[in-house]
Structure 1
Amino acid sequence: MENEKPQKTYSDLDIVSHVSDTLNVPHDQTHRKLKGRHIQLIGIGGTIGTALFVQIGAALTEGGPGSLFLGFTIWCSFILAINNCLSEMVTWIPIASPFVRFADRFVDPALGFCAGINFFVFEAALVPFEVVAFNLVLQFWTDAIPIAAVIAVGLAVVVLLNLFAVGWYGESEFWLAVGKVVLAVGLMTFTFITMIGGNPLRDTYGFRNWDPSKVPGAPFAEHIKTGSLGRFLGFLTCLIQAAFTIAGPDYVSMTAGEAELPRRTLPRAFNSVFYRLTTFFVLGSLCVGIVVPYSDPNLRQALSDARPGAGSSPYVIAMERLNIPVLPHIVNALIMTSIFSAGNSYVYCASRTLFGLALQGKMPRVLARCTKNGVPIYSVAVTLAVALLSFLQVSNNAAVVLQWFVNLVTASQLLNYAIISFTYLKFYYALKEQGIDRDILPHRSFWQPFCGYYAFIGTFVMAFVSGWTVFLPGNWDIPTFLFSYAMLGLAPVLFIFWKVCRRSSWQRSEDTTFFEKEREEVDLYEDTHIPEPPSGVFAKVADFLFV
């Protein structure tokens, strides 16, 4: 007994050998360093950016406050359905790049390849989007700094944060996301205080901007056409804006492979993300329609002129009307941090998607190599290479470049959600076919499989509707069409390519496997891992507030 080797523990947080050596596929060498508070704020921080504070004003002018509020509320129900689908799968099988690998295992390897490329394009395209937006926000104060210099510095800082250990990324994203929460809550508080008369003009405006007798056409504005059709088109525009703006569950799921004690932290994160996002987006859309009328000439002029930074934000327009001089600068500064935080998250998610594809052998093996700190360095490098597209702004109008990226990522995001929903339905019926009771799962979601069908139908249809304005008479524009529908056309090509070249098989429910080896590794890790106590006062307080 004296010579018996001590039992190996997993207190080093490494989960290795996700794929068997016999398959000659690289191991997952990432580290489980993300705590529960990191994951919860990543889920919020990755989705709150310029769309909620600035671009939402464009949807307000086209649909009115009623359509804006209704569109955001309805779309949140789809996000709830997607959240239910992801939470059930990811908490049971917390692996790197989960929903991409789930599509591979539960549906067809060809769909996994298609889903991975689509999600990578989606996340990678959002990086230059946020970099371009960052430059616009900076121009709120000055345009003396060369555009190329701003872009280069912004990308350099993102590089540094994503090349250190994942704990650095989690900590930086946590505090940046806290700033976003402060901004969102602050603007809601601003709305409430000013609407009841707490402003320099002593104007108790309440819901005046919803009153059709005070603002003709409110609360449901006509867009393009008149009458009921015009009001419907206004609502549709707001719904598309909501589809671009609201997300969350996918960002939480991408942390699964690097989450500390995932079976404990992920269920709490999934349970809380939807309600927090609903608070920010539903109440946020309500506040926007309260503070400024949809027909406000200053708002329309600011949008048409592409006024930089917070200058075209409905909140800033309201602050200027109410003679509040300091707040616009504070809002602009916080928007700047929110943009940087979003870009930081997009680099993380895009690089982990490439990493997951490499683990499956669907991308070059070199992309699965990690540094000693568990960072997939080559995947990060490829993502940042795509981010160089932000230099398009040097030779094009920033508003035009932003709209290109908006069109591209809206279709990709909707397609991604449709794939997630369909994958869950295959997962659900595979469990049922094999007699596996869902009560054994760490987290059993409600209203299933209804949520899977609801999310799949809604997101699939909206993916084709999102670029509808390009087909209107006189609106045809080739770049807009390509950016709106490129991924919808590319997705079946990717699927067929992998299907033909690799002769992949459609997975039958009775033959589906559920990552048994990976789940055993997670079980062993959670049984042996002892969490490190938080160091420092701020970390202790944060852990207490976001348990």
Structure 2
Amino acid sequence: MSDLEKQGHKTYDEVDSSASQSINPVTSPTYAYKTSATKWQHFKDSFKRVEVEELDPNLTDAERAAIATARSPLKRHLKSRHLQMIAIGGAIGTGLFVGSGSSLRTAGPAGLLIGYAISSTFILCMICALGELAVEFPVSGGFTTYCTRFVDESFGFAANLNYAIQWLVVLPLEIVAASITVNYWGTDKKYRDGFVALFWLVIVVINLFGVRGYGEAEFVFSIIKVTCVIGFIICGICLVCGARGSYIGGKYWHHPYGAFVGDSAGARFKGTMSVFTSAAFAFAGSELVGLAAAETSNPRKTLPKAAKQVFWRITIFYIVSLTLVGLLVSHKDTRLIGTSSVDAAASPFVIALVSHGIKGLPSVVNVVICIAVLSVGNSAVYACSRTLSAFSEQGYAPKWMNLEYVDRSGRPIVGIAITSIFGLLCFIAASDKEGDVFNWLMALSGLSSLFSWGGIMLCHIRFRRALSAQGRNTDELSFKSPTGVAGSYYGLFVIVLVFIAEFWVAAWPSGYKQMSGSAIATNFFEVYLSFPIVLVCYLGHKIYKKNWTLWVPASQMDIDTGRREVDIELLKAEIAQEKAELAAKPAYKRIYAYLC
């Protein structure tokens, strides 16, 4: 790593004032301040831009993008506990607590579980692949940057824009969901704007505290959500086993309810396939550990553990809790979300408790849903602002937009401002069409995650191909994906199949013969809106740049810029020593280290 790259990670509050005379603020992102300055002056100065040295104009676009994202002056304040809770916090939200209701209604309890179980398998492959890449390249923008470096410039443009749009719409989407949740208590419409404004303000203020404030907030939010899910699981098991006087068991899986929705095999298949849209929305955020790598103090130590543990926690929380939801709530229950704009306030978790006479807890669950909104909204501002910054650093955005602006506190302040302003769309919650707004915003963000996850696994495949083509091997990797390249191929293959199945479901939904043409068109775009957006971005960039290559040749791929450990031989020696130490430990410790 160059001196410039090393300097790029210091900020003005980390420099001794005695060194101020030797620092050039034009060529270095390092700043000094006088100890006599007031706290208010320090606060104002923290919003000033960190200036970095201009890049060599003779560099290629790919080289400029790699260097710019590698030396981004974001602060490294995230720890292991933050990373684990960030991933969980981004993945446990209204998608689980609220969105799963519509999936239960359209697919039945068995279809709901099948959809989420299949999603969990490629989520495992994605997280492992991302962990390997993020440990080696903890750069600004994370995997969106990898798409440009390891696949193709146009693919990187589409991936960056897709991911930014996904999180851009998630913020108002989550706050609209919060307004739906507040309806549960019969909140008068005239107070709804007040709740929306409160949620929006809290989310924006948290992100103004920088990455440390974001990390601590996510840590607290996620603990509350995880506690709620664990409590629901314990309560749900007791209810299913007859704690309220009558044994429930698999009652709602049998006649007259049925495990699936539909009278024919085709209808049941379509119902199950429809789950993938809501599952993708619900699992969105699992990849945040990779995006946060650039702001992690020691990614080599913390990311592998976070990547592996996050999968197990999310899978257990989702699969177990949704199994209990399917056992406690009939898919024919008219209170499930999507039935009407009035009943949309109740989540299946709340319905499960209310239906079996549990008092008090339904309101607690709704409070936790509101906290989940804050958590996912917090992640939305964080993810979108960092993606927009990396988008500009890679040369995709006009210079006048200043999207790469990072202040002295390490905040991509322009990205935060744009995301926050777009979040004001949440005030549409006061409209009678809030249910429609929820559906369309969910359509924009639903399949976007599948594109991102597929892109991550494609980047992993291309990275491993480049190692081989350049005469190098995986011995130089600090962390190797437990699922390997085979897992990435599997995950990418399943995602392609899901897109094909989703197209069929979107174009020919269940009961389409009885539907009008406009209803079929509305259903198609609610399910498949992300696909044409990404396709237009990809082809549009190809045409604009007149770049018709499919991907960067493996032999020419840059697989060194951005690494924090640049002495490969020393790194190999450290890895070999760590493996020897692990091999000397008891079998149960080796198994735990492999899985967690």
User: Fold-level match, TM-score > 0.5?
Assistant: yes
Q: Work out whether 1:126 is the aligned partner of 2:162.
A: no
Alpha-carbon offset, residue 9 of structure 1: 11
Hey, what does 1:83 align to over in structure 2? 127
Hey, what does 1:115 align to over in structure 2? 159
Alpha-carbon offset, residue 334 of structure 1: 0.9
Hey, what does 1:197 align to over in structure 2? 242
Residues 71-92 of structure 1: CA distance to partner in whole angstroms, max 9, x if unpaired?
A: 2111100111111221111111
For the residues of structure 1 that align with 2:147 and 2:278, how far apart are their CA atoms?
A: 27
Name the aligned partner's letter for residue 283 of structure 1: V
Alpha-carbon offset, residue 350 of structure 1: 0.8
Hey, what does 2:559 align to over in structure 1? 514
Alpha-carbon offset, residue 10 of structure 1: 6.8
Alpha-carbon offset, residue 233 of structure 1: 2.1
Kept in 1, the 8 Å contact 2:95–2:279? The answer is no
Alpha-carbon offset, residue 355 of structure 1: 0.8
Hey, what does 1:539 align to over in structure 2? none
For the residues of structure 2 that align with 1:28 and 1:206, how far apart are their CA atoms?
A: 55
Hey, what does 1:537 align to over in structure 2? none
Name the aligned partner's letter for residue 261 of structure 2: E
Residues 36-90 of structure 1: CA distance to partner in whole angstroms, max 9, x if unpaired?
A: 1011000000111122122212222222222222221111001111112211111
Q: Work out whether 1:497 is the aligned partner of 2:537.
A: no
Kept in 2, the 8 Å contact 1:52–1:284? The answer is no
Task: Say if 1:18 and 1:453 are closer, same or farther in 2 by CA, change over 3 A.
Answer: farther
2:213 to 158, 161, 168: 168
1:443 to 450, 471, 479: 479
For the residues of structure 2 that align with 1:39 and 1:74, how far apart are their CA atoms?
A: 25
For the residues of structure 2 that align with 1:326 and 1:522, how far apart are their CA atoms?
A: 59
Alpha-carbon offset, residue 242 of structure 1: 2.1
Name the aligned partner's letter for residue 205 of structure 1: I
Kept in 2, the 8 Å contact 1:43–1:273? The answer is yes
Q: Work out whether 1:147 is the aligned partner of 2:197.
A: no
Unaligned runs of 5+ in 2: 1-5, 16-27, 30-50, 58-63, 572-595
2:267 to 230, 255, 270: 230
Name the aligned partner's letter for residue 354 of structure 1: L
For the residues of structure 1 that align with 2:159 and 2:8, how far apart are their CA atoms?
A: 35
Task: Say if 1:522 and 1:441 are closer, same or farther in 2 by CA, change over 3 A.
Answer: same
Task: Say if 1:457 and 1:19 are closer, same or farther in 2 by CA, change over 3 A.
Answer: farther
For the residues of structure 1 that align with 2:443 and 2:385, how far apart are their CA atoms?
A: 22
Hey, what does 1:66 align to over in structure 2? 110
Alpha-carbon offset, residue 491 of structure 1: 2.2
Kept in 2, the 8 Å contact 1:50–1:133? The answer is yes
SS of equivalent to 1:519:
coil
Q: Work out whether 1:384 is the aligned partner of 2:420.
A: yes
Alpha-carbon offset, residue 283 of structure 1: 0.9
Hey, what does 1:321 align to over in structure 2? 355
For the residues of structure 2 that align with 1:521 and 1:266, how far apart are their CA atoms?
A: 18
Kept in 2, the 8 Å contact 1:19–1:359? The answer is no
Hey, what does 1:96 align to over in structure 2? 140
Hey, what does 2:341 align to over in structure 1? 306
Task: Say if 1:436 and 1:469 are closer, same or farther in 2 by CA, change over 3 A.
Answer: same
Kept in 1, the 8 Å contact 2:8–2:52? The answer is no
For the residues of structure 2 that align with 1:293 and 1:231, how far apart are their CA atoms?
A: 16
Alpha-carbon offset, residue 394 of structure 1: 3.3
Alpha-carbon offset, residue 93 of structure 1: 0.9
Kept in 2, the 8 Å contact 1:34–1:166? The answer is yes
Kept in 1, the 8 Å contact 2:177–2:373? The answer is yes
Task: Say if 1:363 and 1:93 are closer, same or farther in 2 by CA, change over 3 A.
Answer: same
Hey, what does 2:258 align to over in structure 1? 218
CA RMSD of aligned residues (A): 2.8
Q: Work out whether 1:336 is the aligned partner of 2:370.
A: yes
1:416 to 452, 469, 482: 452
Q: Work out whether 1:256 is the aligned partner of 2:293.
A: yes
Hey, what does 1:157 align to over in structure 2? 202
SS of equivalent to 2:287:
helix
Name the aligned partner's letter for residue 73 of structure 1: A
Name the aligned partner's letter for residue 222 of structure 1: V
Kept in 2, the 8 Å contact 1:68–1:239? The answer is no
Hey, what does 1:240 align to over in structure 2? 277
Task: Say if 1:153 and 1:217 are closer, same or farther in 2 by CA, change over 3 A.
Answer: closer
Hey, what does 1:533 align to over in structure 2? none
Residues 470-504 of structure 1: CA distance to partner in whole angstroms, max 9, x if unpaired?
A: 54341544555445444322323322333343455
Alpha-carbon offset, residue 140 of structure 1: 1.6
For the residues of structure 2 that align with 1:42 and 1:108, how far apart are their CA atoms?
A: 29
Residues 212-259 of structure 1: CA distance to partner in whole angstroms, max 9, x if unpaired?
A: 2xx32522x233xx2222222222223433233224441111101101
For the residues of structure 2 that align with 1:378 and 1:47, how far apart are their CA atoms?
A: 25
Unaligned runs of 5+ in 1: 1-6, 527-546
For the residues of structure 1 that align with 2:562 and 2:270, how far apart are their CA atoms?
A: 50
Residues 440-468 of structure 1: CA distance to partner in whole angstroms, max 9, x if unpaired?
A: 21111134322222222222342354463
Name the aligned partner's letter for residue 351 of structure 2: I
SS of equivalent to 1:319:
helix
SS of equivalent to 1:204:
coil
Residues 400-443 of structure 1: CA distance to partner in whole angstroms, max 9, x if unpaired?
A: 11111111111211122222222222112111111221132111
For the residues of structure 2 that align with 1:239 and 1:367, how far apart are their CA atoms?
A: 33
SS of equivalent to 1:488:
helix
Task: Say if 1:8 and 1:121 are closer, same or farther in 2 by CA, change over 3 A.
Answer: closer
Kept in 1, the 8 Å contact 2:506–2:524? The answer is no
1:345 to 379, 394, 401: 379
Task: Say if 1:217 and 1:234 are closer, same or farther in 2 by CA, change over 3 A.
Answer: farther
Kept in 1, the 8 Å contact 2:9–2:73? The answer is no
Task: Say if 1:34 and 1:42 are closer, same or farther in 2 by CA, change over 3 A.
Answer: same
Task: Say if 1:513 and 1:469 are closer, same or farther in 2 by CA, change over 3 A.
Answer: closer
Residues 185-221 of structure 1: CA distance to partner in whole angstroms, max 9, x if unpaired?
A: 111111012222223xx122223323x2xx32522x2
Hey, what does 2:252 align to over in structure 1? 209
Give me the TM-score of the superposition, normalised by structure 1.
0.86
Residues 126-185 of structure 1: CA distance to partner in whole angstroms, max 9, x if unpaired?
A: 111101011111222242244333323322221111111210111011101111101111
Alpha-carbon offset, residue 512 of structure 1: 0.6
Task: Say if 1:415 and 1:343 are closer, same or farther in 2 by CA, change over 3 A.
Answer: same
Residues 264-288 of structure 1: CA distance to partner in whole angstroms, max 9, x if unpaired?
A: 1111110111111111111122111
For the residues of structure 2 that align with 1:18 and 1:270, how far apart are their CA atoms?
A: 32
Hey, what does 2:61 align to over in structure 1? none
Q: Percent identity?
A: 29
Q: Work out whether 1:357 is the aligned partner of 2:357.
A: no
Residues 306-337 of structure 1: CA distance to partner in whole angstroms, max 9, x if unpaired?
A: 3467x522232232232222111111111110
